[in-house]
Chains A and B, each alone.
Chain A
Amino acid sequence: MNLSISQRVNGLIQQLALTTGLTLHRLMGIALLACLSTSTSTSTAQAVELNCDAHSRISESFDNGARWDLCWESRIRENLVLSEVHYTPPGGEPLRVLSSARLSQLHVAYDDSDVTYNDVTQYGLGGGYLQTLSAADCPLGNLLNVQTRPAICRWRNQGDAAYRTANRAATTQSLNLFSVSQVGAYAYIINWTFHDDGAVEPGVGATGALQRSSSDTKLPFGRLLQGDPDTLWLSHTHNYYWRLDFDLGSAANDDRFSETRYVPQSDGTRIRQTRRFRTEQALSIQPEMQQRWQISASDGEDSPAYLIEPTHLGHRFVRTDVEPYSEYDLFVTVASDCERFASQNARFNPDCLNDVLQYVDGQSIVDEDIVLWHRVGFHHMPRSEDQRHMHAHWDGFVMQAQNVLPGTSGLSGLPNQAPVWQQLIDRDGETGADIHTQLQADDADNDILSYSATGLPPGVSLSTRGHLHGRLQQAGLYTVEVVVRDDHSHAVESFKWTVGEVAPVTRKGGGAASVLLLLSAGVLLAWRRPATGIMHPGS
């Protein structure tokens, strides 16, 4: 049974819960601490030197050998600001990912258009708006103090599937940090998730209570909820803007930003088009292009990068008369201390521009420290279940690591036996012969095997399932190299294939010629020879 450390701990604490009568959550808390200390002590990843004191530093190691290191602080306006965020892949070197990351605006617009809030700048998410948390708010983790009171919950979670094959699977692990800010009736749970595969997932849970209502129940801007026929609760949109200062390269000013589109062609194919931007940009999604954005450490195709897929953009709040910046979903700007909030920036920085669209003023981003601003929105139509305290609606996005790990996360280190070729034979055949042969290899782990070949005679191909098929077209002597792969490793073998010309047929009796052709169809004349293949460990 191939259980992770946390799975083993989970199993253990559930047994303990039964036998000791302690609550599961209390035991989970104890177990979490044990789990954290265990994984830290067994990890091979070394701690990264960070420029913050021990209290403001968070380091988390995972079962797959990966590690996150970062600093945090709580500010009056933005509340949680993360800095010096580093990811160390399993067996790899630390990668500086973000020099800072934060929620830079929480824009709320009501459908009656009477009120718009910019909660970060009008109120703030820190200071007095930051809620003191208790153990009941953080049952699966531990609390961190902001100054003198507990206000941040740190916990580790077992998430979705990392991968799945016929015989193996792994689930992701993640470090989660959240705080709660009560702004008016709303309680915003500001969350950051750091996955063991290098992904970063900012998110906000909107809970608390509905904020605005009207006694005019005929208005078309909200809904009557059950049990309260005299109150119309108003619909509204939450727009979350994150400010992300990536630092992927060796220096702060060497990151590249690009957009990739998969452009549909008239014949049904799709062609990838990637555009690297050299000046500041404001960009909108184009759902038919299935586009995505990358920030990378260099120009190389295999450069370490982070990828933003706009999967959570089913709601787009656009009100350009009032907020011209609302037309766009992603902005790229040159880092400036003056550009702190996505909107109402001049409120606290009078000598600076006011919103993120104004920051996009044509500056070159080449050799500059660049910042991404990403907007995700959610239109909230009240439902009866929102009474009296509503369930959290979670919104956010994932930034996936690309070309950061050596391969599929969670696969390395698992016991594996390489596939073994069944004896291959050299082949003879003549042009025109049809080929239908199954190549075979064995795998002691019963992994799915995939096959590939180089050097095949023209007209013949090898399917990924090992089916050698086609028709010999051209005489010659071919050296064919075949590769079989399981989930971790592969085995290479080669054989020779001699293809001769078909002798011209000068008399009637095509039946006999066909029989001859069939007999020479590449599978009969062969001698066996010892295998000369070599085994390669997985990449």
Chain B
Amino acid sequence: MILPARNHSPRAGWMVPKCFVGQGNTFAIPRALVVISALLCGSLVTADAIAQQSACGTQQTAIDYAFSSGAMWSLCLMVEESHGLTITSASYRAPGDSQRNVLQLAHIGQVLLHYHDEPDPIPQLDVAHHQERQSQGSDVLSMNDNTCAGTVLDMNDHPAAVCARVRDNRTLAKYAQRPSLHSRSLELSSAFQRDTLTWTVSFTFTEDGQVSPGLGLSGRASRTLADSRYSQTVAAHLPPLVRATVLATWRLVFDLDTPAIDTIEQYEFPLDAADGNRRPMQVTTLTTERQLRANRETFRGWRIVDASGAGYYLDPANNGFSYTHPRMHWPGYELALTRLKPCERFAAGNATVSLASRTESSTAESSPVCGLSLDDFVNGESLQGAPPVVWYGQSRVLDPHREHWPVIRNVRLTFDLLPFDWTASSPFEPVD
């Protein structure tokens, strides 16, 4: 689904400055949520802010968060059974700048959980599973004071499904004897349960424009096997717990700045030993669908850039592991680029979505039929003329030990999307 580009102006809301923040930061959310916030905060100041209609869809909730510096994030969010927390129409306003679009859509595109004694991983996002379980209720976990260190937000379909938390970051900038600059961030998270495991999907929006998607694995490790090649004893009274690798793959659709279609550039800095060990920068514009590996020795990274030159940089600096599988091609690549298609939603396990697309196509035979996984999605189509989808994967191993019982110590996967030439200089310290 291609979502409409959103208005650059802040949207309707009532400022609720107490619980979330200090120093004049404001958090504007719809009236119903204000009531919840008031209950949690114990007080309420109903300063009417902006009377403008939200651009979010009917199933989405609008959030505007303004920092004391003047920076602001505006976005729509919803919690889907099949993807968890989904962000749409996210825009950022740097101090002194206008509100400009950043993301059209961002959510987790698949989580593979690969128990080491099994030949194949288990996709944790499974549309068929949700359809089967519809009568048994939701896998989305409700937030409460015990599980949310911030403020609990209702979503339209899921009450108390999102936790909003404002956090102090480390120093933002420091130079000589000038006083340090500090920043804060808004973290939105939701959690869902799969068997005994708990998965937390989060997005952190920082005051300086960064976006950090994150996935956490916790809950109860419950797969056991008495085979030390695959499992680990964590307590004498327990059978050994099986180790596992987690591969999180994010699905990101950017919508940077102007209405023009964004392009993707690849940056590399290969060592030229024959030329005095220099590292000439190589920039390649990627114009067709493809899968790409991280190249740690050439510092390979990717910039999503608008026609205006404003961009965001995806740097796989946090990517120290690679996941490979003998019968699955796509997980061996950290990045994939595809042309946006609504029915290409899951990096693996897309069969149900694809099947629904096929059914629809019976009445409109020209409609495209989507594939089963990223290996099908990436088929050499041009990336020009349609928004590109960035699929980014990270992996990590869960090797249980004493601290993982009775609940798994949070195993976290996260990365940063960094504004890159978004503003002409640091918006917190303009050039003299």
Contact = CB atoms under 8 A, between A and B. Distances in A.
B287 interface: no
Given A24-B22, A311-B396, A487 B407 contact: yes
Contact of B279 (A221, A225, A407, A538): A221
Contact of B410 (A164, A168, A189, A301): A164
22 contacts: A131-B174, A137-B174, A160-B410, A160-B412, A162-B409, A165-B407, A208-B174, A222-B281, A225-B425, A270-B230, A287-B294, A290-B397, A313-B319, A318-B297, A379-B269, A385-B425, A392-B174, A402-B403, A408-B404, A411-B407, A448-B219, A450-B196
A287 B425 CA distance: 36
A271 B230 contact: yes
A269 interface: yes
A372 B184 CA distance: 34
Nearest to B206: A391
A262 interface: yes
B431 interface: yes
Nearest to A228: B431
A237 B278 CA distance: 12
Interface stretch (A12-20, A349-357, A518-526): A12-20
| Interface residue range, chain B | 35 or more
Nearest to A407: B405
Interface string B379-403: 0000000000000000111010111
A388 B429 contact: yes
Which of B170, B191, B195, B232 is packed against the most chain A CB atoms within 10 Å? Answer: B170
Contact of B406 (A24, A319, A487): A487
A166 B140 CA distance: 9
B176 A268 contact: no
Contact of B229 (A178, A271, A321, A487): A271
A318 B404 CA distance: 36
Contact of A387 (B280, B324, B325, B425): B425
Interface string B142-178: 0011111100000000000000000110111111111
Interface string A135-146: 011011000000
| Interface residue range, chain A | 35 or more
Contacts of A503: none
Contact of A384 (B170, B326, B423, B429): B423
Interface of A: 1-3, 7, 11, 13-15, 17-18, 23-25, 111-113, 131-132, 134, 136-137, 139-140, 157-158, 160-169, 171, 176, 178, 180, 182, 187, 189, 191, 197, 205, 207-209, 220-223, 225-227, 235, 237, 260, 262, 264, 266-272, 285, 287-288, 290, 292, 301-302, 309-316, 318-319, 321-322, 378-379, 381, 383-392, 394-395, 400-409, 411, 448, 450, 452, 464-465, 485-488, 536, 538-539
A472 to B, nearest CB: 22
Nearest to A486: B406
Interface of B: 18-19, 21-23, 42-43, 114, 116-120, 141, 144-149, 167-168, 170-180, 182, 191, 193, 195-196, 198, 200, 208, 216, 218-220, 222-224, 228-230, 232-233, 235, 237, 239, 243, 245, 267, 269, 271, 273, 276-282, 294, 296-297, 299, 301, 309, 313, 315-327, 395-397, 399, 401-410, 412, 418-432
A134 B179 contact: yes
Given A311-B318, A314-B315, A408 B405 contact: yes
B119 A221 contact: no
A270 B243 CA distance: 9
Contacts of A169: 146-149
Nearest to A311: B320
A285 B320 contact: yes
A140 B184 CA distance: 12
Given A311-B320, A388-B426, A408-B409, A165 B218 contact: yes
Contacts of B23: 17, 23-25
Nearest to A236: B279
A450 B196 CA distance: 7
Contacts of B114: 268, 270
A205 B403 CA distance: 29
Which of B237, B294, B402, B406 is packed against the most chain A CB atoms within 10 Å? Answer: B406
Contacts of B148: 169
B203 to A, nearest CB: 14
B200 A392 contact: no
Given A391-B173, A448-B219, A488-B406, 14 more contacts: A111-B280, A189-B170, A207-B173, A264-B324, A287-B321, A310-B320, A315-B299, A316-B297, A318-B297, A321-B273, A322-B277, A381-B301, A388-B426, A392-B170
A162 B42 CA distance: 27
Which of B118, B148, B401, B404 is packed against the most chain A CB atoms within 10 Å? Answer: B401
A221 B281 contact: yes
Nearest to A182: B176
B403 A408 contact: yes
Which of B42, B230, B281 is packed against the most chain A CB atoms within 10 Å? Answer: B281
A113 B245 CA distance: 39
Nearest to A411: B407
Nearest to B236: A539
7 closest cross-chain pairs (CB), A and B:
A24-B22, A268-B119, A464-B222, A136-B179, A379-B299, A226-B424, A313-B320
